[in-house]
Amino acid sequence: MKFEILTIFPEVIECYIKHGVVGKALEKGIAEVKIYNLRNYTRDKHKKVDDYPYGGGVGMVMQIEPFYNALKQIKKDRKPRKVILLSPQGKRFTQGVAKDFLEEGKGIVLICGRYEGIDDRIKTLIDEEISIGDYVLSGGELPALVIIDSILRLIPGALGDDLSAKEDSFMKGVLDYPHYTRPDEFKGMRVPEVLISGDHKKIALWRRKEALRSTLNSRPDLLKNLSTDDMKILKELCSEINKKILEGSHEPVNY
């Protein structure tokens, strides 16, 4: 899988991809990242990549030429790849979109904008426009890294052990369960006894129940299409919570 990134801040990308899962995947040759510094693709003698907006208004707009030239270079060298523009106006990025992009196989081209935006004629050069969520960032670099990170985790062998990938996909649809490590007691706070019991069936059930508890608390919108096993656990959880509410011993709930 090859990621080609167009940006005016190559150092921002370089810095992140050295480390962790992404860094390891690149070392192993599972994936490849190539960065195109847009300032190398402008004919302007001051390497200017932006200009004032037609129609007036605040801020600057990125010119189309550096994007056009960099993409021409990419397309000349290699087989056509999906070209994705990171933009607040794009469709929302999800785990499902990450899987779709992975299935593109060869790789993707990611275009990062800065300033108030990019000359809209960029739309003639792209296949998709993607946003990572409803908040305002300063540019497309963090979103590009988010996308690369999430896709790489899906490639078999990219994570330290394949069990982590299995775990990611098993937990699909619910939030994670709580984790603990040594010591078994810290300032009076004890690790739940069940995790030390060695009873693997009981541990699995406890984890699923706590995963459902987190989901009910933080993301009740995710609780749909549950299996009959999960429904049983959730019902039990709800009646425990109801009992505590009636006793007045439960923390306030927001559902």
Tell me the DSSP string of 214-241: HHHHH-GGG--S--HHHHHHHHHHHHHH
Q: Which of 11, 14, 100, 116 is catalytic?
A: 116
- Span from 100-108, 127-135, 149-157, 238-246 in contact with ligand 9D3 (CB under 6 A): 127-135
Quote the CA–CA distance of 209 and 207 in Å, as a whole number.
Answer: 5
Q: The dihedral of CA 159, 165, 167, 171: what is its sign? A: positive
**Residue 168 among the catalytic residues:** yes
Q: Which of 114, 153, 208, 213 is catalytic?
A: 153
Say if CB 49 and CB 8 are below 8 A apart: yes
**Residue 183 among the catalytic residues:** no
Phi/psi-derived region of residue 155, left when phi > 0, alpha when psi is between -120 and 50, beta in every other case: beta
Q: The dihedral of CA 171, 176, 180, 181: what is its sign? A: positive
Token couple for 127: 């296949």
- Span from 7-15, 30-38, 83-91, 203-211 in contact with ligand 9D3 (CB under 6 A): 83-91
Q: Which of 39, 53, 65, 88 is catalytic?
A: 88
- Span from 16-24, 113-121, 190-198, 215-223 in contact with ligand 9D3 (CB under 6 A): 113-121
Q: Of the candidates 113, 122, 147, 151, which one interacts with ligand 9D3 according to CB under 6 A?
A: 113
Say if CB 216 and CB 223 are below 8 A apart: yes
- Span from 18-26, 131-139, 147-155, 164-172 in contact with ligand 9D3 (CB under 6 A): 131-139
Q: Of the candidates 35, 143, 152, 211, which one interacts with ligand 9D3 according to CB under 6 A?
A: 143
**Residue 208 among the catalytic residues:** no
| Planar angle of CA 149, 31, 111, nearest 5 degrees | 60
Three-class DSSP category at 178: coil
Q: Of the candidates 31, 140, 158, 212, which one interacts with ligand 9D3 according to CB under 6 A?
A: 140
Residues 153-182 that bind ligand 9D3 (CB under 6 A): none
Quote the CA–CA distance of 55 and 218 in Å, as a whole number.
Answer: 44
Q: Of the candidates 88, 102, 128, 195, which one interacts with ligand 9D3 according to CB under 6 A?
A: 88
Q: Cis link prior to 53 (omega < 30° from 0)? A: no
Q: Of the candidates 22, 110, 132, 159, which one interacts with ligand 9D3 according to CB under 6 A?
A: 132
Q: Is 107 an interacting residue with respect to ligand 9D3 (CB under 6 A)?
A: no
Least distance from C-beta 141 to ligand 9D3, angstroms?
A: 8
Contact residues for ligand 9D3, defined by CB under 6 A: 86-88, 113, 116-117, 131-133, 135-140, 143
Write out the catalytic residue numbers. Answer: 88, 116, 153, 168
